[in-house]
Amino acid sequence: MKRIADSHIHIRFFEFEHALKLFSDIAECGVTDAAILSLPYYGVIANLAAVYFKMTNKDLDLRAFGGFHTVDQYAEIPPEVQLEALIKLGIDGFKIMSCPTMRRYCGIGIDDEYYEKMFALLEREGLPVNFHVADPEEFWDEGGSYADPSFASKKQLCDEALRVAKRHPNLKIIFAHFFFLSNFPEEAERIMEEYPNVYFDLTPGTEMYYNFDKNIEYWRGFFKKYKNRLLFGTDANANKDCNKELEALVYRKLTEKTDYFTQNCYGKDFVIRGLELDEETADAIAYGNYFEIFGKEKKPVNLELFYEYCERVLHDLEAMEGDPYQENRVKIVPKLDIYPSKQVSLDFLRRVLKEK
Ligand SMILES: [Zn+2]
């Protein structure tokens, strides 16, 4: 039976109608459950928005993965203190971004002592972490986004993340985008064997779908062998208009025959091969593992705290002149330069508080 739990969606830029459309669109594709991963560098309300939709949306059973603030007025609060507040609020997991721009901005590795208490707390609480580390290797090529030597190498970023995984053997870490290893079957296998607490999600990186095709029989075996370590994910996002196609692309990759099939997505045709997985394997990856890894039950939301945080952030934004943090955001995502982050956050909070 086709049923999907999508472990990796976003609601960038927190505009209500777009978020609601995302949820109803993917529900039409057979998605019943999904985890919203918060990225507070897009906007100060990321965590509150994820928790809000978890509380209120009826199309999907949503979970909220929190993220710590790195660029805004709360960035100086130690990460474990931020996490503690989010746990009280009722998050179901945590999202960590260790891409090259974030690494350069922060100036320290994710394995630095600064983050230790945060990881220890996540491990103690049994909260799963969706962890984006590095990017596809070609981005470091000459002329690529990370060719500049001020960026850490792919290897360095991966080593830092793996040190965290080793140090916290009971912390469930889901490396997003297959840990960008679709060109490195031996390394993927080594990590599965050496790190029993590590999982991969299948969120495109569309390069991954072509890379698998070069060695489809190998990967078919890998997917069967590690069927309990792989999680369905799409990066479906409130600011995209191909969310249904994304769900179809990832699902069909699992189930179609190893012959070629065509799926339109991101405005182009993907002509790729399926992994032709048996029903049990496909169902574990597309659905069952979500509950095995994230837990059967969602965490309850502390309503009083939710509204208290909304009031506080609204107050802080209203007291703030202009948006002094916008230039920090752009250091992490250059194309954010035209995005009115502060205004969208204000609109969101005013609407939520009015509904109360
Ligand atoms: Zn993502």
Compute, in angstroms, the gap from residue 70 CA to the centroid of ligand 1: 17
CA 177 to ligand 1 center in whole angstroms: 8
Cα 49 to middle of ligand 1, angstroms: 16
Look up residue 216 and give its two tokens. Answer: 């489809």
3-state secondary structure of 229: coil
- How far apart are the CA of 176 and the centre of ligand 1, in A? 7
Q: Which domain CATH number covers 83?
A: 3.20.20
In a domain, 170, yes or no: no
Q: Residue 9 sits in which domain range?
A: 4-93+183-355
- CA end-to-end span of the chain, whole Å? 39
Q: How far is the CA of 356 from the centre of ligand 1 (A)?
A: 30
Is 106 within 8 Å of 141 (Cβ atoms)?
no
Q: Between vectors from CA 124 to CA 306 and to CA 302, what angle results, nearest 5°?
A: 15
At residue 339, what are phi and psi to the nearest 5 degrees? -90, 125
Q: How many domains does the chain have?
A: 1
Q: Is 10 helix (H, G, I), strand (E, B) or coil?
A: strand
**One-letter amino acid for residue 126 of the chain:** G
- If you measure from the C-alpha of residue 233 to the centroid of ligand 1, how many angstroms do you get, rounded to a whole number? 9
Residue 32 CA, ligand 1 centroid: distance in Å: 19
Q: How far is the C-alpha of 306 from the C-alpha of 324, rounded, in Å?
A: 25
- 202 C-alpha to center of ligand 1: Å? 11
Cα 10 to ligand 1 centre (Å): 7
What's residue 205's pLDDT? 86
Question: Does residue 102 lie in a domain region?
Answer: no
What per-residue confidence (pLDDT) applies to 235?
A: 97
pLDDT at 26: 98
Partners of residue 4 on adjacent β-strands = 31
CA of 321 to the centre of ligand 1 (A): 31
Residue 103 lies in a domain: no
Using the mean position of ligand 1's atoms as its centre, give its distance from the Cα of residue 226 in Å: 22
Helices and strands counted in the chain (H then E):
15, 11
Amino acid identity, position 44 = V
192 vs 101: CA distance, rounded Å:
27
Inside any domain, residue 275: yes
Contact in structure between 42 and 329 (CB atoms under 8 Å): yes
The pairing of beta strand 260-265 with beta strand 129-133: unpaired
Expressed in angstroms and rounded, the spacing between residue 9 Cα and the centre of ligand 1 is 6
Local structure of 160: helix, strand or coil: helix
pLDDT of 1 reads 67
290 within domain boundaries: yes
Total length of the chain: 356
**Distance in angstroms (rounded) separating the CA atoms of residues 54 and 192:** 31
Helix (H) or strand (E) holding 268: strand 268-273
Q: How many A from CA of 153 to the centre of ligand 1?
A: 20
Interatomic CA distance for residues 257 and 278, integer angstroms? 10
Distance 286 CA to ligand 1 centre (A): 17
Query: Which of 104, 138, 158, 283 is CA-nearest to residue 206?
Result: 138
Q: Is residue 195 part of a domain?
A: yes
Quick check: helix, strand or coil at residue 68?
coil
Residue 106 lies in a domain: no
Give every CB contact of residue 167 below 8 A, 6+ residues apart in sequence.
111, 119
- Ligand 1 centroid–CA 7 distance in Å is 10
Distance 75 CA to ligand 1 centre (A): 21
Q: Give the phi and the psi of residue 66 in degrees, each rounded to 5.
A: -80, 170
Tell me if 216 sits within 8 A of 273, measured CB to CB: yes
Kindly list the averaged pLDDT for each block of 10 residues, start to end, along the chain of length 356.
93 90 97 98 96 97 98 97 98 97 97 98 98 96 95 98 98 98 97 98 92 96 98 96 96 96 95 97 98 98 98 98 94 89 95 95
**C-alpha 37 to ligand 1 mean position (Å):** 7
- Determine the Cα–Cα distance for residues 327 and 324; give it in Å rounded to an integer: 7
Task: Tell me how far the alpha carbon of residue 319 lies from the centroid of ligand 1, in angstroms.
Answer: 31
d(CA 78, CA 334): 26
**Does residue 266 form part of some domain?**
yes
Kindly give the distance from the C-alpha atom of residue 348 to the centroid of ligand 1, in angstroms, as a whole number.
22
